[in-house]
């Protein structure tokens, strides 16, 4: 699944409650996250919920995995991973996540704390991307 498919699915949903349920379902589809990676070093600070991100480099691309202890946030992690995973560091840095998330309507429909956490994830991923340049 990709961001365009999420956007198309959102367009079919009239109510934000339905979109929230869909986001939660996206979180349920995240691959298992190894508990040994739920460390302070992998934790994204700035999120109210606990969020962990790890990555590995495969060729010239970065592959991200993530998890959260909150259902809705796991779904948001899934969306962030769709935006950034399997891209080169250059592509990661050039990606305008704020525009993508705004286009999905997320920035207008999340609490300020969740929005801050969302952008903390984006900043963490961009910092990882920059570390490879």
Mean pLDDT of the chain: 95
pLDDT at 107 over 80: no
Bridge partners of 66? 53
Lowest mean pLDDT among 62-66, 93-97, 105-109: 105-109
- Judged on CB neighbours under 10 Å (0-12, 13-18, 19+), 84 is buried
CATH of the domain at 68: 3.90.1010.10
Q: Which of 126, 131, 22 is CA-nearest to residue 80?
A: 126
CA distances from 110 to 10, 16, 72, 104 (A): 15, 10, 10, 11
Q: How many domains does the chain have?
A: 1
Active site residue 47: yes
What range defines the domain where residue 36 resides? 3-131
pTM: 0.95
The catalytic residue among 44, 47, 97, 106 is 47
106: confidence class by pLDDT, cuts 50, 70, 90: confident
Q: Where are the beta strands (DSSP E) in 47-125?
A: 51-58, 61-68
Q: What is the pLDDT of residues 45-89, one digit of tens each?
A: 987 899 999 999 999 999 999 999 999 999 999 999 999 999 999
């Amino acid at each position: 699944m990709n961001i365009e498919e999420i956007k198309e699915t959102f367009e079919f949903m009239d109510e934000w409650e339905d979109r929230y349920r869909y986001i939660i379902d996206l979180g349920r589809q995240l691959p298992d996250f190894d508990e040994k990676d739920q460390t302070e070093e992998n934790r994204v600070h700035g999120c109210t919920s606990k969020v962990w991100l790890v990555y590995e480099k495969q060729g010239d691309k970065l592959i991200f995995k993530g998890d959260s202890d909150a259902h809705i946030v796991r779904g948001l992690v899934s969306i962030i991973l769709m935006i950034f995973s399997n891209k080169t560091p250059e592509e990661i840095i050039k990606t305008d996540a704020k525009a993508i998330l705004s286009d999905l309507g997320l920035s207008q429909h999340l609490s300020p704390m969740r929005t801050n956490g969302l952008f903390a994830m984006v900043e963490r991923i961009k910092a990882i991307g920059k570390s490879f340049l």
